[in-house]
Structure 1
Amino acid sequence: MTAFAETVQLTGPLATLEPLAPDHATDLGRAAADGELWKIWYTTVPTPEEMAAEIGRRLSLQAEGSMAPWAIRDTRTGRLVGMTTYCNISPENLRVEIGYTWMAASAHGTGVNPDAKRLLLERAFDVLGCNAVYFHTHWHNHQSRASIARLGAKQDGVLRSYQVYKGTVRDTVTFSILNNEWPAVRLGLDARVAQHVG
């Protein structure tokens, strides 16, 4: 397994990213039930009953070296609130994608997401030496598109008819942050996190 697929605990004032493990299943099932996230048609979130299998799938991909999965914990409350990953890992090209991320509805707007992204970007650029970090989302997922743009990522384009998804053809919007953009992005994320601390 390359360093790109390894998971270590990453801790910020609002978010703690823990290496994903099978014993997270029950608490992550409760998090997914907060807002019944699996009912959103343009995204894929496991039901509580599917959570253990989804954790197993992500850990299998990690063993193959193509994914680094974390559970997201709210640092202040200690509650597990979601999952995130590095995916489409390409060590030879010094790039990762941040994706397969979801969070409990009650965690939205709390600062946990920007703090989690700050931790992942810091590891990607400052530890792994990435040239670029990518984000992909469904064309119809306007909330995700706005959230990615607020991070400081730039939209690269729309990959039309990119994949068959839940019986429909999905257009995928792709964003990126380059290593020379990271210092400014970090300042923006630090400011957003600071608004929720104190």
Structure 2
Amino acid sequence: MPRTNAHGQPVGDPVGWSGASPLAPVELRGRFVTLRPLGVDDADAFRAVLGAHDELWTYSPDEPPHTPEDARALLAALPAPPSALPLAVTDPAGRLLGRVHLMRADPAMGTVEVGAIVYSPALQRTRAATEVQLLLADHVFGTLGYRRYEWKCDSLNAPSRRAALRLGFTEEGTFRQAVVYKGRNRDTTWFSVTDGEWPRVAAGLRAWLADDNHDAGGHQRRSLAEVRAALP
């Protein structure tokens, strides 16, 4: 039964929570990747690694950076903390593999979004790509204290929708005609993980990433969905 107030009206559960921390520059290190602030100094690598693949930018409001000037202009215009935190994804040797942003942060309400994801082919469908999301969400919930972690995408972006569900996000619905970008309509599908759900989602991610879930060739023994279903 829902809680009710003195007037007999249903109301939400009380929240013993006083706000999250604003976004600030940070470096997050994992086994397979490091996340660090993305900036203009990354322009050459950014163009070489991500600008050569136009197909990576179909569902981004940005155009692929084909020239050094394009890359510098795109990176110079990035949003900055505390509302957003653009991050470079690098391998252990420091080579750029992709970009990801924490964005639309609202510390007072405890909500923040992960987005602007562009992964190079070398990063896609790897343990490293999954570790990116573990590092980010663990920082959002464990360090910054947010209550809600969002993922939004063009409803026609099937790979993004599959990725959100695989990672443990819950699909919430679609905002029709939410955005116009690149001269076309975007219906936006929303996903989220809440702080109450995060411990189980995190346990699944860690168990999937573990060495005993991968053979000598690096292939998974159990899918992330199978790992998560087996959790208590």
User: What is the TM-score with the length of structure 1 in the denominator?
Assistant: 0.89
Q: Deviations over 1:87-113 (max 9, x none)?
A: 111011111100011111121112222
Q: Aligned with 2:41: secondary structure?
A: helix
Tell me which residue corresponds to 2:40. 22
Q: CA RMSD in A?
A: 2.0
Choose between structure 1 and 2: higher helix proportion. 1
Tell me which residue corresponds to 2:75. 55
- Would you say 1:192 and 2:208 are equivalent positions? yes
- Would you say 1:141 and 2:157 are equivalent positions? yes
Once residues 197 and 22 of structure 1 are traced to their aligned partners in structure 2, the CA distance between those partners, rounded to angstroms, is 39
Once residues 196 and 29 of structure 1 are traced to their aligned partners in structure 2, the CA distance between those partners, rounded to angstroms, is 33
Return the offset for 1:132.
Answer: 0.4
The higher relative CO (CA closer than 8 Å, separation ≥ 6) is in 1
Once residues 88 and 26 of structure 2 are traced to their aligned partners in structure 1, the CA distance between those partners, rounded to angstroms, is 11
Choose between structure 1 and 2: higher strand proportion. 1
- Cα 1:197–1:31 change in 2 (3 A) is farther
Give the stretch that moved more between structures: 113-122 or 188-197.
Answer: 188-197
Say if 1:72 and 1:83, in contact at 8 Å, map to a contact too: yes
Aligned residues, how many? 192
Q: Aligned with 2:108: secondary structure?
A: helix
- Would you say 1:43 and 2:60 are equivalent positions? yes
Structure number with larger C-alpha Rg = 2
Return the offset for 1:166.
Answer: 1.2
The letter for the 2-side match of 1:107 is L
Unaligned runs of 5+ in 2: 1-19, 217-232
Once residues 52 and 14 of structure 1 are traced to their aligned partners in structure 2, the CA distance between those partners, rounded to angstroms, is 27
- Cα 1:143–1:122 change in 2 (3 A) is same
Return the offset for 1:133.
Answer: 0.3
Moved segments of 4+, more than 6 Å: none
Once residues 191 and 34 of structure 1 are traced to their aligned partners in structure 2, the CA distance between those partners, rounded to angstroms, is 34
- What are the residue-to-residue correspondences of 1:55-74 with 2, within 5 Å? 55-58=75-78, 61-62=79-80, 65-74=82-91
Q: Aligned with 1:174: secondary structure?
A: strand
- Cα 1:36–1:157 change in 2 (3 A) is same
Once residues 152 and 160 of structure 1 are traced to their aligned partners in structure 2, the CA distance between those partners, rounded to angstroms, is 23
Say if 2:141 and 2:195, in contact at 8 Å, map to a contact too: yes
Say if 2:21 and 2:145, in contact at 8 Å, map to a contact too: no
Once residues 37 and 193 of structure 1 are traced to their aligned partners in structure 2, the CA distance between those partners, rounded to angstroms, is 28
The letter for the 2-side match of 1:72 is V
Identity between Structure 1 and Structure 2 (%) = 29
Return the offset for 1:78.
Answer: 3.3
Unaligned runs of 5+ in 1: none
Once residues 11 and 36 of structure 1 are traced to their aligned partners in structure 2, the CA distance between those partners, rounded to angstroms, is 29
Once residues 43 and 201 of structure 2 are traced to their aligned partners in structure 1, the CA distance between those partners, rounded to angstroms, is 33
Tell me which residue corresponds to 2:100. 84
Select which of 188, 192, 200 maps to 1:172.
188
The letter for the 2-side match of 1:25 is A
Return the offset for 1:188.
Answer: 1.5
User: What is the TM-score with the length of structure 2 in the denominator?
Assistant: 0.76
Q: Aligned with 1:159: secondary structure?
A: strand
The letter for the 1-side match of 2:87 is W
- Cα 1:178–1:57 change in 2 (3 A) is same
